[in-house]
């Protein structure tokens, strides 16, 4: 039997929960207050995907090894889809305006357009638009 979870939760350590919430709110994301408190903020990606932003000290209670020094080393990349190239640019530009850092030059592969940024905590994000019509011809 194939495992197909109905929801996805990504947990990320953050240094300052309020700054993190302000950053992602300014990009256009919302937080679910039902799953947020003084230690955590539940960033809503869509109806089935969430990112739990956990204060580093709280994040530490879930693991048996040190919290990674994310600003100095990459631990992963969170990639999100966008509805269009313009939407990719809009989200990436908002992230940069809110204090994020561009990590790569925009990449245009013809069928796929990608912009990358680092959030205030050093986590890496990509926003991508894939033109499925162009993809099938590539």
Judged by DSSP in three states, 54 sits in strand
Contacts for 138 with CB less than 8 Å, ≥ 6 apart: 110, 111
Domain 1-62 classified CATH 3.40.50.300?
Answer: no
Architecture of domain 75-138: Roll (3.10)
For the whole model, what pTM was predicted? 0.88
Does 1-62 match 75-138 in CATH topology? yes
Domain ranges of the chain: 1-62, 75-138
CA atoms of 9 and 49, how far apart (whole Å): 6
C-alpha–C-alpha distance, residues 92 and 129, integer Å? 12
Compute the distance between CA of residue 45 and CA of residue 78 in angstroms, rounded to an integer.
Answer: 11
Per-residue pLDDT tens, the chain, 138 aa: give them. Answer: 788 888 899 999 999 999 999 999 999 999 999 999 999 999 999 999 999 999 999 999 999 999 988 888 888 899 999 999 999 999 999 999 999 999 999 999 999 999 999 999 999 999 999 988 876 665
Residues 30-57 have pLDDT tens digits of 999 999 999 999 999 999 999 999 999 9
């Amino acid at each position: 039997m194939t495992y197909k979870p109905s929801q996805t939760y990504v947990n990320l350590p953050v240094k300052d929960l309020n700054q993190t919430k302000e950053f992602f709110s300014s990009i256009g994301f919302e937080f679910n207050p039902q799953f947020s408190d003084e230690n955590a903020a539940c960033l809503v990606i869509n109806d089935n995907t969430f990112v739990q932003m956990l204060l580093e000290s709280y994040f530490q209670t879930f693991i048996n090894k040190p919290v990674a020094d994310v600003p100095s080393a990459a631990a992963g990349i969170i990639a999100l889809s966008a509805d269009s190239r313009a939407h990719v640019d809009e989200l990436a530009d908002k992230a940069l305006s809110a204090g994020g850092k561009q990590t790569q030059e925009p990449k245009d592969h013809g069928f796929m357009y990608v912009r990358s940024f680092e959030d205030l905590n050093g986590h890496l994000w990509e926003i991508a638009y894939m033109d499925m019509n162009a993809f099938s011809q590539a």
